[in-house]
Amino acid sequence: MSSRTRLLALALGVLGVLAMLVLHWQVFFWVPTEASMGIVQRIFYIHLPAALVAYLAFGIVALCSAVYLWLGEEKLDMAARAAAEGGILFTAIVLITGPLWGKIAWNTWWTWEPRLTFTLLLFFIYLGYFLVRSSTENAQQGKRFAAVVGIIGALNIPVIHLSVVWFRSLHPEPVVLKAEGPTLHPDMLTTLLTGMLAFTLVFLSLFLFRYAVAQLEYHRALARRDADRAFEGSGPSRPRDHATGGGR
Amino acid sequence: MRLYLSQIGALVRKDLLIEARLRERVVAMGAFAVLIGILFNFALDRTAVRPQEIAAGLIWLTIVFGGLMGMGRTFQMEREDGALEGLLLSPVPRDALYLSKVVANFVLLSAVVLLIFGIFGLFFSLDFGRSPLALVAVILLGVLGFVALGTLFSAISAGTGMGESLLPILVFPLLVPMVIYGVTATAALFAGLPPAEVSGSLRMLGAFALISLAGGTTLFRFIVEE
Amino acid sequence: MSLSSPSAPLPSTVGAPALEAVDLVRDFGTVRAVNGISFSLRPGEMLAVFGPNGSGKTSLLRMLSGVLRPSSGTVRIHGAGGGSAAGRGRVGVLSHQTFLYGSLTPAENLHLYGRLYGLEDLVERVPARLEAVGLSGRGDDRVKTLSRGMKQRLALARALLHDPDIVLLDEPWTGLDVHAAGVLRDVLGSLRDGRRTVVLVTHNLSQGLELADRVAIQVRGGFAFLERRAMVATPFEAFYREVVEASA
C-alpha cells in the first residue's frame, strides 16, 4: 500500500519540480515587470502561491483531524500530521519572502499587511498543533489534542481573517497594499497560476512521502510488538518498554 | 433537560464553592490587575499620550493576561485525588462538564473585569462614555468567547507536560478577533460615540463567542476521554 | 442504618447476565494492555481478579466502568452499552483514588455526586449514608482534614450513593488501617445480597478469595485463569504464583 503512495508521491514530485523550473524561468526571464514596484515584485509569484498552499494544507489538517476524531483511524492522524508539516514549511516561506519583499520594496521589514499578519497567526496555530502533540505523556492523547487544536483553529480562521482585514481598513498604512499592483497583466496571471500549480504539486508530493513514512513507522512498531509476543509464546502480550499508560 | 441543567448547576456550584473557599484564582487575578495598573502607570509617558486614549487597549490586554492566568488552573483542582475520573464515571455528559466550567470561569472573569475597570478608572481618571449598557454587552460577549476558548485549551494544557505555559501559544492567535473588535468598540464607547456605532463589532463578538462555544462543546469530550 | 438500599428490580429474563465483557482489547499506541478478555457475570455474582502489577487490571476495570473506551470488544451492563450514560449510571467505582474534593465537606461531596446521578431524595439520603460509614460527626469538616481511612469510607459512600447494581473495586484496601479495612470488609460482605454484581481487583489474596464466587488471575493483559472459587486449588498463594509464573 505504501509503495503505491510513494510512487504517486514520486510522480507528483517530479511534475512539481518540472513546474518549478518552468516557474523560475517565467519569473526571471519571461513575465513583465510590474510598473510601480519594479523587479522585486517578482517575489510575489513565490509568496502568494506559498500562502495559498499553506492555507490549503491547514484545510487538510482540519478535515483529517475531524474525521480522525470521529472514526479513530490512525492513518487519518498520519495524514493530518503530514499535511501540517508541509503546511508549516510553506507558512515559513511566506513569512520569509514577505518581510524580504517589504524591506526591499518599501524599506520596512514588517508592515502588518493583513494577509501576512494572518499567516503569522496561522504559523502559531501550526506551532500549537505540534507542541501539543509532542508534550503529552501518552502519545494517543497527544494526537487527539492536536486534532482538537487543528479543528478549533480552522473554525476560528474565518473570524480571525475578517477581523484582521477589517482592522487594516480602519488603520491603513501608507504603503501600497495591493501586492499585485493596480492591474494584472495576463502574463502575470499565467505566471501566478504556474506558481500555484508548482507549489501545490510539491506540497502534495511532500505530503504523500511523509504519509508513507508514517505508515512504515507504524507497521514496523506493530511488527515489533507481534514479534515480541510470538517469541514469548502464545498468551497475553507483554507491555513493551515504557508502558506509561498501559500498566495496571 | 432538567437533569442536564441540574448537573451543570451542581458542577458550577462546586467550582464556585471551592473558589470561594480557597480564593486562589480570584486573589491572583485581582492582584495581577492592580499590579499591572501600577506598572502601566510607570510604563506610560503621560506627556506623550493621554491614558484615556489608549485605555481600551490597556484594559483588554489586562483582561487577556489576567484571564488566561486564572483560567490555566481550571482543571488543576480536578487532579487531586483523581476527581475528574469520578466525574467521568458519572452519567454526566461531557459537554455538560465543559459548559459548567465555562459558566464558572465566566463568573470568575466577570468579577475580575469589574475590578479591572474600577482600578484603571481610578488610576487613570478614565471616562467610560455615556452608554454603559453597550459597554457591558461588548465586554460580556468578548469575555464569553474568551472563556469558551480558554476553558477548552486549559483542559488540553492540563494534560501536557508543559502545562500552563502552553496556554498563551494556543489561545492568543485565536483571541485576535476579540481584541480587535473588543478594543475598537470599547474605545468608541469611551469616546462617547452612540451604541449604534459599535453594532458591527458586537455582531462579530457574538459570532466569535458562538463559534468558540460550539467548538468547545463539541470537541471537549475528545480531550477528556481516553 | 444501611449503606445502600436494595437495588432496582431485576429484568424479567432470568439468567440474563448483569455484566458482560466480550473480547475486550485495549491498546495504548503499540502497547497492548488488555488482550482479549471475556467473561459474563450473573446478578449477585462476585468476581475477584488477582494479578501482578502491569497486567492491565486497572485498564480492564476502567473499561468496565465506561471511562476507558475499548480498542475493540464490548462491555454490556444489563444489556446497555458500557460507555453510555445509562450504563455508567448503574456502576459504582471504588478506587485507591478517592475522587473527592478536599475543599468541600463530606456532605457537599455527596450532594454533588447525588445530583450528577440524578438522585432526588438527597436531603434524606446523604445524612443516612454518612451515618452508615460513621462520618456523621465530621459532616462539616473539609475532606482534606480527614484521615486516609475516613476518606476511603467516604469514597465508599460516594461509590454506593446511587445504589449501583454493578460495583467495581480497584485495590480498595490500599493504605487503609485495620479499623477502616474492617469496615470495608463488612461493607463488601453486605453487598453480597444476591442482586449486586461485584468485580474486585485486589492484591489481598485472602480477603478476595473469601468473598468471591469466581476467581480470575490476570497476567499480561489476559485471564490466565478464570474459574469458580470451588475449583481453586489450595493453598491459593502457591497456586497463584504457579499460574503467574507459567504465563510469564
Provide, as residue numbers in chain A, all residues whose Cβ is less than 8 Å from the Cβ of C30: 221-222, 224-225, 240
Q: Are C223 and A235 spatial neighbours (Cβ–Cβ below 8 Å)?
A: no
Out of B174, B176, B223, the one facing A148 most closely (by C-beta) is: B223
Whether the CB of C2 is below 8 Å from some CB of chain B: the reply is no
Residue A71 to residues B74, B88, C175, Cα–Cα distance (Å): 29, 21, 41
d(CA A85, CA A92): 11
Residue B16 to residues B51, B77, B99, B103, B202, Cα–Cα distance (Å): 35, 12, 14, 10, 29
The C-alpha of C38 sits at a distance from chain A's nearest C-alpha, in angstroms, of: 13
Residues sharing a CB contact under 8 Å with residue C25, sequence separation 6 or more, in sequence order: C32, C34, C35, C36, C70, C71, C72, C73
DSSP labels, B50-95: -HHHHHHHHHHHHHHHHHHHHHTTTTGGGTGGGHHHHHHHSS--HH
- Which chains neighbour B (Cβ–Cβ under 8 Å, 3 or more pairs)? A, C
> Do residue A132 and residue B216 have CB atoms under 8 angstroms apart?
no
- Which chains neighbour A (Cβ–Cβ under 8 Å, 3 or more pairs)? B, C
Main-chain phi, psi angles of C101, to 5 degrees: -95, 115
> Do residue A140 and residue C54 have CB atoms under 8 angstroms apart?
no
Whether the CB of C32 is below 8 Å from some CB of chain A: the reply is yes
Taking 70 as the threshold, does the pLDDT of residue A247 lie above it?
A: no
Whether the CB of C97 is below 8 Å from some CB of chain B: the reply is yes
Strand C166-170 to C197-201 pairing: parallel
Which candidate in B81, B85, B223 is best for mutational testing of the C interface (most C CBs within 10 A)?
B81
Residue B202 to residues A155, B106, B113, B212, C209, Cα–Cα distance (Å): 19, 18, 18, 15, 66
DSSP labels, chain C: --SSPPPPPPPSSTT--SEEEEEEEEEETTEEEEEEEEEEE-TT-EEEEE--TTSSHHHHHHHHHTSS--SEEEEEETTEETTSHHHHHTEEEE-SS----TTS-HHHHHHHHHHHTT-S-HHHHHHHHHHHTT-GGGTTS-GGGS-HHHHHHHHHHHHHTT--SEEEEESTTTT--HHHHHHHHHHHHHH-SSS-EEEEE-S-HHHHHHH-SEEEEEETTEEEEEEEGGG--SSHHHHHHHHHHHH-
Q: Give the amino acid at C175.
A: G
The C-alpha of A222 sits at a distance from chain C's nearest C-alpha, in angstroms, of: 6
Q: Are C68 and C61 spatial neighbours (Cβ–Cβ below 8 Å)?
A: no
Whether the CB of B206 is below 8 Å from some CB of chain A: the reply is no
pLDDT digits (tens, 9 = 90+) for B25-59: 999 999 999 999 999 989 988 888 888 889 999 99
Whether the CB of C58 is below 8 Å from some CB of chain A: the reply is yes
Residue with cell 479513530: A72
d(CA C21, CA C60): 10
* pLDDT recorded at residue A246: 39
* pLDDT recorded at residue A238: 41
* pLDDT recorded at residue C2: 53
* pLDDT recorded at residue A248: 39
Residue A181: band (very low, low, confident or very high) from pLDDT cuts 50, 70, 90: low
Residues sharing a CB contact under 8 Å with residue B207, sequence separation 6 or more, in sequence order: A159
Taking 90 as the threshold, does the pLDDT of residue A171 lie above it?
A: no
Per mean pLDDT, which of A162-176, A231-245, B101-115, B119-133 is the most reliable?
A: B101-115
Whether the CB of C232 is below 8 Å from some CB of chain B: the reply is no
Provide, as residue numbers in chain B, all residues whose Cβ is less than 8 Å from the Cβ of C89: 90-91
Taking 50 as the threshold, does the pLDDT of residue A58 lie above it?
A: yes
d(CA B159, CA A138): 9
Residue B116: band (very low, low, confident or very high) from pLDDT cuts 50, 70, 90: very high
* pLDDT recorded at residue C201: 93
Residues in chain B: 226
Whether the CB of C166 is below 8 Å from some CB of chain A: the reply is no
Selected residue with higher pLDDT from C27 and B171: B171
Mean pLDDT value across chain A: 84
> Do residue C53 and residue A247 have CB atoms under 8 angstroms apart?
yes
pLDDT digits (tens, 9 = 90+) for A25-42: 888 888 777 767 777 778
C-alpha cell at A27: 519569473
Could you state, in chain order, the average pLDDT of each consecutive group of 10 residues for chain C (248 residues)? 50 69 87 90 92 90 92 88 85 91 94 94 91 85 89 91 93 83 84 88 86 90 86 82 83
ipTM for the complex? 0.91
Out of B14, B77, B85, the one facing C99 most closely (by C-beta) is: B85
C-alpha cell at C221: 493483559
d(CA B160, CA B158): 6
C-alpha cell at C232: 481453586
d(CA A197, CA A203): 10
Whether the CB of A228 is below 8 Å from some CB of chain C: the reply is no
Selected residue with higher pLDDT from C5 and A187: A187
End-to-end CA gap in chain A: 36
Which candidate in B24, B73, B89, B97 is best for mutational testing of the C interface (most C CBs within 10 A)?
B89
* pLDDT recorded at residue B79: 84
Residue A210: band (very low, low, confident or very high) from pLDDT cuts 50, 70, 90: very high
* pLDDT recorded at residue A29: 83
d(CA C89, CA C115): 12
pLDDT digits (tens, 9 = 90+) for A125-138: 999 999 999 988 88
User: Other C-beta atoms within 10 Å of A107: how many?
Assistant: 8
* pLDDT recorded at residue C119: 92
* pLDDT recorded at residue A40: 79
Determine what percent of chain A is predicted with pLDDT higher than 70: 88
Taking 80 as the threshold, does the pLDDT of residue B185 lie above it?
A: yes
Whether the CB of A219 is below 8 Å from some CB of chain C: the reply is no
Whether the link from the prior residue into C9 is cis, omega within 30° of 0, is no
Output DSSP code: residue A136: B
Residue with cell 498468551: A235
Weakest mean pLDDT among A157-161, B8-12, C147-151: C147-151
Provide, as residue numbers in chain B, all residues whose Cβ is less than 8 Å from the Cβ of C100: 81, 83, 86
Whether the CB of C214 is below 8 Å from some CB of chain B: the reply is no
* pLDDT recorded at residue C166: 93
Q: Alpha-carbon Rg of chain B, whole angstroms?
A: 18
Mean pLDDT value across chain B: 92
* pLDDT recorded at residue A241: 33
User: Rounded to the nearest 10 degrees, how much is the dihedral formed by the CA atoms of A225, A231, A233, A234?
Assistant: 30
Which candidate in A95, A145, A157, A169 is best for mutational testing of the B interface (most B CBs within 10 A)?
A145
User: Rounded to the nearest 10 degrees, how much is the dihedral formed by the CA atoms of C51, C53, C54, C56?
Assistant: 40
* pLDDT recorded at residue C4: 55
pLDDT digits (tens, 9 = 90+) for A102-119: 888 888 888 888 889 999
**Upper half-sphere CA count for residue C72 (Cβ side, 13 Å):** 5
> Do residue A151 and residue B156 have CB atoms under 8 angstroms apart?
no
Residue of C nearest to A233 (CA): C247
